[in-house]
């Protein structure tokens, strides 16, 4: 798998998202991912057992592994699902991720926002926690171009994590902007089921791969700064996803899919 920089690290472009992990298979899946060359994991405290499974499977973490987490959304015993808006709430979420992963410093923390409002105050809180030594690098999630620029004015941004796929390409210009800045673009839902066009079926058949593998391969072909993070709870699906990273599409095939 080819690589791209995630801030001051270079990681393989095919990573792993932990949201779908299940307690009964999570440790096996995570360890197999590392065996297959995955060195970039995406997680969050609000993903249920994900952080604890990462800790059980991979701690003490090898120095080449990068674990990116996110804050903003949270789950409270009394409040239920909520969006962190204050400094105290954000610090609590950072500390929750530190405890769950069993680390003293978080590799990457993405601030996920829920609307197009200003993120300056919240991102500023994370920048202060970075200065305090709790966070190594910062990213943003579910953001507009304007919000990215707002964040970059406060502290360096190493990644943008937004919804993107061959069927949902609103971020085409943002991906190119990130590439010009040397910022990694990390799409989620890139292999979510879409309409299988006749062209897509023909390309998948020509390569002997599934529609999901084709969607993932197209995503990686879109731009070299894309770091994909497909998730699964099954080793077999993990192996299929990693195999998709080696699929070489021709320019004509890429164009037909678009």
Sign of CA dihedral 157, 161, 162, 167: positive
d(CA 50, CA 48): 6
For the chain, the maximum distance between any two Cα atoms, rounded to a whole number of angstroms, is: 54
Do the strands 3-6 and 9-12 form a parallel or antiparallel pair, or are they unpaired? antiparallel
Instruction: Please pick, among 47, 61, 164, 181, the residue that the annotation labels catalytic.
Output: 47
Concerning whether 47 is annotated as a catalytic residue, the answer is yes
- The catalytic residue positions are 47
């Amino acid at each position: 798998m080819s690589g791209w920089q995630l801030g001051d690290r270079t990681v393989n472009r095919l990573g792993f998202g932990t949201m779908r992990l299940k307690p009964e298979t999570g440790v096996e899946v995570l360890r197999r991912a590392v065996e297959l060359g995955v060195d970039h994991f995406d997680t969050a405290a609000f993903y249920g057992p994900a952080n604890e499974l990462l800790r059980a499977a991979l701690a003490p973490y090898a120095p080449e592994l990068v674990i990116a987490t996110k804050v903003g959304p949270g789950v409270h015993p009394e409040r239920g699902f909520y969006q962190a808006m204050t400094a105290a709430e954000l610090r609590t979420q950072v500390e929750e991720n530190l405890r769950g992963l069993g680390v003293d410093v978080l590799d990457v923390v993405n601030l996920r926002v829920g609307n197009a409002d200003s993120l300056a105050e919240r991102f500023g809180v994370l920048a202060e926690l970075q200065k305090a030594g709790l966070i190594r690098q910062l990213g943003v999630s579910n953001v507009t171009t304007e919000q990215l620029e707002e964040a970059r004015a406060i502290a360096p941004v190493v990644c943008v994590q937004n919804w993107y796929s061959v069927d949902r390409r609103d971020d085409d210009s943002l991906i190119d902007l990130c590439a010009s800045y040397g910022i990694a673009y990390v799409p989620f839902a890139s292999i979510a089921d879409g309409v299988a066009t006749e062209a897509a079926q023909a390309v998948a058949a020509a390569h002997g791969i599934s529609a999901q593998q084709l969607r993932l391969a197209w995503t990686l072909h879109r731009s070299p700064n894309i770091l994909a993070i497909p998730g699964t709870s099954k080793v077999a699906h993990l192996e299929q996803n990693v195999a998709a990273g080696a699929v070489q599409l021709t320019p004509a095939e890429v164009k037909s899919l678009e």
